[in-house]
């Protein structure tokens, strides 16, 4: 398949910084160990009526790179543009995630022989392949509406509710006021926005009752994920960790999330 030379560099996210390039209608990027199973899943999703995913083009195990179709549209990057943070968009993101889950539920359970990533996976597991990283940077928009999801590197078996909670972390966002301000998200009401996301998804009452606690679990998983990257000396994560305030910031977020759990629950059930 060759290397990444000659293409248009794409943002690629923190995990693949500098390693994702576009060649016309194809994106070339690092392939994870579970790529063969993931490619089968992406093809099955499209066949099941969910076209909002990249289509696998090629996989080169020798070079450890893969090619996927480039999904045309707009992907919001920090500082997120105002149009991408409206409540209408938030509800539509919830609806997009629900369509992904509904299509996934029609497919066979994920292959248990595959070593799916554990970084942000649901600790309870599950029979549905969750995306686990539905942040704004992984949503493709057209005409201001979310239409597709990209970067399934962290996909793993789990509960649909885990995926909703992971999305809520990024989209509410689940941040204390100081952390939200430093991330450029000041003025957004996370309690109200969580309700909007849940409504857009069509979350049933049982899921609403459980969601605040699961959000707490995802925050802990996010902290552990960052800790592993920092301890391993990953320069991208080290820089972001320092820029956002280190462990003091994570302490604030976890404390705020625990204190706000009841408020989240009341808003979700109102």
Lowest mean pLDDT among 13-22, 28-37, 106-115, 253-262: 13-22
138: DSSP letter? G
Q: What is the pLDDT of residue 243?
A: 93
Q: Go through 64-75 and write b for each residue having 16 or more CB atoms within 10 A of its CB, e for each that does not.
A: ebbbbebbeeeb
Torsion of CA 182, 184, 186, 187, to 10 degrees: 180
**Sign (positive or negative) of CA dihedral 241, 255, 181, 17:** positive
Distance CA 263, CA 129 (A): 30
Contact 260, 176 (CB under 8 A): no
pLDDT at 15 over 80: no
Distances, alpha carbon 47 to alpha carbons 40, 83, 103, 179, in Å: 11, 31, 9, 41
Q: Across residues 99-124, what is the average pLDDT?
A: 96
Question: Average pLDDT, stretch 248-268?
Answer: 98
Nearest to residue 31, comparing CAs of 19, 22, 41? 19
Length of the chain in residues, anyone? 270
As a whole number, mean pLDDT of residues 67-80 equals 96
Sequence ranges of the domains in the chain: 8-69, 82-269
pLDDT band at 3 (very low <50, low <70, confident <90, very high): very low
Confirm if 64 and 3 have CB atoms less than 8 A apart. Answer: no
pLDDT digits 0-9 by tens, 177-188: 999 999 999 999
Assess whether pLDDT exceeds 80 at residue 5: no
Architecture of domain 82-269: Alpha-Beta Complex (3.90)
pLDDT score at 6:
66
Please, what is the end-to-end C-alpha distance for the chain in angstroms?
54
Q: What is the mean pLDDT of the chain?
A: 95
Q: Is the pLDDT of residue 69 over 80?
A: yes
Please write down the long-range contacts of 11-19, taking CB distance under 8 Å and 24 or more positions apart: 11/75, 11/77, 11/137, 13/137, 13/138, 13/151, 14/236, 14/237, 14/240, 15/153, 15/236, 16/153, 17/236
Question: What's the confidence (pLDDT) of residue 253?
Answer: 98
Closest CA to 5 of 23, 30, 31: 23
pLDDT digits (tens, 9 = 90+) for 131-170: 999 999 999 999 999 999 999 999 999 999 999 999 999 9
Instruction: Please report the pLDDT score of residue 16 as a whole number.
Output: 77
Say if residue 40's pLDDT is above 70: yes
CA pair distance 222, 250, nearest whole angstrom: 9
Q: What three-state secondary structure class fits 26?
A: strand
- Please tell me the predicted confidence (pLDDT) of residue 7: 84
Distance CA 89, CA 105 (A): 24
Q: What is the pLDDT of residue 1?
A: 52
Mean pLDDT along residues 193-220: 98
Share of the chain above pLDDT 90, in %: 92
pTM of the model: 0.95
């Amino acid at each position: 398949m060759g290397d990444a030379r000659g293409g248009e560099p794409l943002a690629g996210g923190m995990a693949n910084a500098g390693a994702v390039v576009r060649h016309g209608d194809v994106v070339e990027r690092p392939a994870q160990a579970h790529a063969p199973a993931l490619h089968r899943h992406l093809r099955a999703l499209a066949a099941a009526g969910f076209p909002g995913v990249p289509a696998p083009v090629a996989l080169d195990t020798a070079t450890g790179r893969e090619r996927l179709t480039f999904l045309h549209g707009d992907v919001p990057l920090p500082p997120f543009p105002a149009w991408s943070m409206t409540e209408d968009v938030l509800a539509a993101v919830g609806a997009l995630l629900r369509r992904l889950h509904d299509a996934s539920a029609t497919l066979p359970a994920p292959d248990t022989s595959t070593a799916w990533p554990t970084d942000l996976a649901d600790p309870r597991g599950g029979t549905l392949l969750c995306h686990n990283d539905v942040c704004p940077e992984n949503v493709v928009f057209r005409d201001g509406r979310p239409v597709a999801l990209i970067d399934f590197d962290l996909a793993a078996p789990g509960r649909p509710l885990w995926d909703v909670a992971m999305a809520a972390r990024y989209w509410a966002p689940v941040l204390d006021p100081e952390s939200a301000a430093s991330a450029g998200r000041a003025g957004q009401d996370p309690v109200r926005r969580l309700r909007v996301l849940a409504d857009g998804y069509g979350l049933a009452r049982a899921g609403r009752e459980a969601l605040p606690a699961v959000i707490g679990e995802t925050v802990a998983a996010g902290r552990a994920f960052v800790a592993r990257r920092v301890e391993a000396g990953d320069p991208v994560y080290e820089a972001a960790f320092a820029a956002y305030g280190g462990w003091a910031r994570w302490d604030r977020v976890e404390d705020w999330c625990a204190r706000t759990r009841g408020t989240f629950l009341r808003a979700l059930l109102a």
